[in-house]
Amino acid sequence: MKRRKTRKIHVWTLIILTILMALLMSVTVFADSSQEDLTKPETSEETPDQLSNSNSIIEDESYSLNESIAESVEKPEGWFYEDEKWFLFNDAGEKMTGWQIVGDTWYYMNSSGVMQTGWIKSGGAWYYLKSSGAMAAGWVFDQGKWYYLKSNGSMATGWLKLGARWYFLNSNGAMAVGWIKPAGAWYYMKSSGAMAVGWVFDRGNWYYLKSNGAMATGWLQLGSKWYFLKSSGAMVTGSYTVGKKRYYFYSSGAWDGKNGIWSYPGLGQDVVNYAIKWVGKTPYVSGGHSLITGTDCSGFVHLIYEYFGYNLPYSSGNYQNQVGTKIQKSQLLPGDILVYNYGEHVAIYAGDNKIIHAANPNLGVVYESIFLFGNSNYLKYGEPTAYVRVFQ
């Protein structure tokens, strides 16, 4: 009985082993078949060259995929803003550099493609690009100064004519104002930058700019009047020596003399205007020679005329016959000299039968009637004994 059981066990063991072996062989065959399919390309009639261009090759499939992705990405075109900078791309997606025109406007992109603003130097010329990047033309105000950009955008220097007006741009392009001397002559540019012509008042003096803008010097005739401009260009007023002659010019600067040195009656009235400033201020001091500390009658006349560049005697006695030209009373003009009692007293005629003179120690310099009567402080001189014109 025991032997039969053992035989049965051996039979089942053999069956199980047979099944396992069959299963193992099936798995091995399947694995080999799968590996063969992965490594061996399908049979084809194509040549090797044709295969190399086919997308069936893994490397070419990879290339074809990348190209497809690149074409699907939108390419930049036109303006592009990145990292607070502007760039410009053409329709091929290429970054632009140098001068570029968009519509009617010029822009400049540096070598990195970044849009420029402010001043740039290109091709030896300066250009100004606005905050928008657009190239400027015409007047531009930058850091407190005006500049002019021509129609091609380049910065102007030197003389510039716009309409009927002239301007001057310094070598750095800045518009000039005030006095300039670009080539031997002086010119005056107004605060607007326009070149001045005619009379200009600057720092207390008058100057004359000719029709070409150049500053005048020396004698200048305008209409019937003559003026004299110093070498500095400043207009002369009052007494002034030209050559070896002494001239007098009105406060307006004009000298209306023809052959004579002095202009009259303009000078005479200026003499009166100056003399009258000392009325009530200058004391009478016999033999004195100062308008401030005091003087006498002849000293007063001498000091007033000295202010205008004319040298008269200190002694009143000399005025009767030795000074100037004798005239008639009917010919009197402001600035003429009146002589009393044959030289005992002198005064300056002020017009309208009035005189200015250093009267006496009690009154000093006064302005009063031509007839010295009725005042106990005066010697009663009465009518003048001579009327003298100093000016030619």
Both structure tokens of 319:
């005025």
Length of the chain measured in residues: 392
CA 210 – CA 206 distance, rounded (Å): 13
- From residue 153, how far is each of 88, 118, 120, 150, 168 by CA, in Å? 20, 12, 11, 5, 18
CA 251 – CA 269 distance, rounded (Å): 11
Q: Which of 10, 289, 302, 357 is catalytic?
A: 357
Contacts of 109 (CB under 8 A, 6+ apart): 87, 88, 95, 96, 97, 98, 100, 115, 116
Tokens 């002034």 belong to 240
**Is 357 one of the annotated active-site residues of the chain?**
yes
| 3-class state of residue 265 by DSSP | coil
Q: Which of 10, 289, 297, 302 is catalytic?
A: 297
Q: Which of 10, 289, 302, 345 is catalytic?
A: 345
Find, among 79, 173, 170, the residue nearest to 119 by Cα.
173
Phi, psi of 42 (to 5 degrees): -65, 150
- The β-bridge relationship of strands 98-102 and 364-369 is unpaired
The number of C-alpha atoms within 13 Å of 90 and in the hemisphere containing its C-beta is: 9
CA 246 – CA 244 distance, rounded (Å): 7
**Is 302 one of the annotated active-site residues of the chain?**
no
Tell whether omega for the bond before 265 is within 30 degrees of 0, i.e. cis. yes
C-beta atoms surrounding 105 within 10 Å:
12
Which residues partner with 201 through β-bridges? Answer: 206
CA 382 – CA 362 distance, rounded (Å): 19
Both structure tokens of 312:
């008269």
Do 118 and 130 touch, CB atoms closer than 8 A?
no
Contacts of 83 (CB under 8 A, 6+ apart): none
**Is 10 one of the annotated active-site residues of the chain?**
no
Enzyme catalytic residues: 297, 345, 357
